[in-house]
Each structure stands twice: as structure tokens, then as C-alpha cells.
Amino acid sequence: MIKFQYNKTSLQNLDKQLKMRVRALPTIKNKESALRSEVKKAKEVADEFDSKLESTLEAINNMLQLYDEYTPGILAVKDVNMSVKKIAGVRTPVLDHVEYEVKDFSLFNTPGWLLDGIQHIKQVVDIALEREFYVRKMELLDKARKKTTQKVNLYEKVQIPGFQEAIRKIKRFLEDEENLSKSAQKIVKNRKEGEQNEM
């Protein structure tokens, strides 16, 4: 519900508010469209990483039974380097690089496949982390898209029609007031003329 008074100041204020929203609406719609597109792209990339992870795990499936001999703690994620990229005004995380720490181990006392195994684990972790970053990006963009959609709906369905209706009511009121004033002046004029004619 838009609050207003039946006067010219209120009319000017409402007109200003209406123009501001009408001008902003195309920009907000473009933002919503861009966000919708980016959410779709991020979901597609996350899905690609799901497939990539699945195919990577399938490729090393025959080696997985050897991991019973694997010593936990040989490989650890030391650091995850990330940056932030703005997409349609939304800050989203970008995975730059994963740093791993490989503990010292004896090449003589460990199975021959261990070095390859460490590379496979790194590959799986890289894919899983990249996927998580895209899922997070998708969530952030979708949240922003929903807010933008709400704003578009608020402007289109509530505020713009509300301001237009309020402006119409004020204009009608002011016209009626002016017509009444003119009618009153005419009556007074006719009365004066009538009184003068009687003299």
C-alpha cells in the first residue's frame, strides 16, 4: 500500500518514485537474466565434474583394492588457494590451486604403485574440490537470482501499478477540486452580476 496525500507535492514525489522504478526495471531484468544464465552454466559445470569424478574413479577402480596397503597421512591438503570473481554483482569463489603435502616415506618399504596412487588421489581431490566450488557458485548466484526476481515482481506487480494508481487518484482529486473552485467562482460571479442588475 502506497501512502500519499492529495496535493501537488505528493504528486511530484510519487511521479519521481515511479520514474525511478520504471528506469531501473530493465536493468534489474537484465541482471536477473544474466544470473539465470550463470546459474545454469555453473550447474552444467558441476554436473560435468560429477561425471568426470565418476569416470576417474572407474578408471582407477582396479587399483582401489591396493589401497588397503596405503598408509593414511602420507598425503594431505596443505592449502586451498582461491580468489573471488564478481558475476553480475555477486561475489563467487574460484579455485585457483590446491597445495598438497606429501610426508616423507621410504621408497624401498612401500609398494611400487604408491607414487601413481598419490597422483590418482590428488586428481580425485582436485575434481571433488572444483565441483564443490561450482556448486557453491551456483548456490550464491541462485540466491541472488531469487532476490532479483522478487525485486522485478515487486516493481512490476506492486509498486509501479501502485504509484500509477495513486497518481491517477491525486490528479482526479486535484481536477475535481479545480472544477469545484471554478464552479464556485462562476456562482459568485453570477450572483454579483444578478445583484448589480437588480439595482
CATH assignment at residue 71: 1.10.287.3240
Domain range spanning residue 90? 8-187
Q: Distances in Å between the alpha carbon of 165 and those of 15, 162, 168?
A: 11, 5, 5
Closest CA to 115 of 77, 78, 74, 76: 74
Q: pLDDT 10s per residue in the chain (199 long)? A: 788 899 999 999 999 999 999 999 999 999 999 999 999 999 999 999 999 999 988 877 776 666 666 667 788 889 999 999 999 889 999 999 999 998 887 667 766 677 777 888 889 899 999 999 999 999 999 999 999 999 999 999 999 999 999 999 999 999 988 888 888 888 888 888 777 777 6
Residue 128, domain member (yes or no):
yes
In a domain, 195, yes or no: no
Q: CB–CB of 81/97 below 8 Å?
A: yes
Domains held by the chain: number = 1
Is pTM beyond 0.85? Reply is no
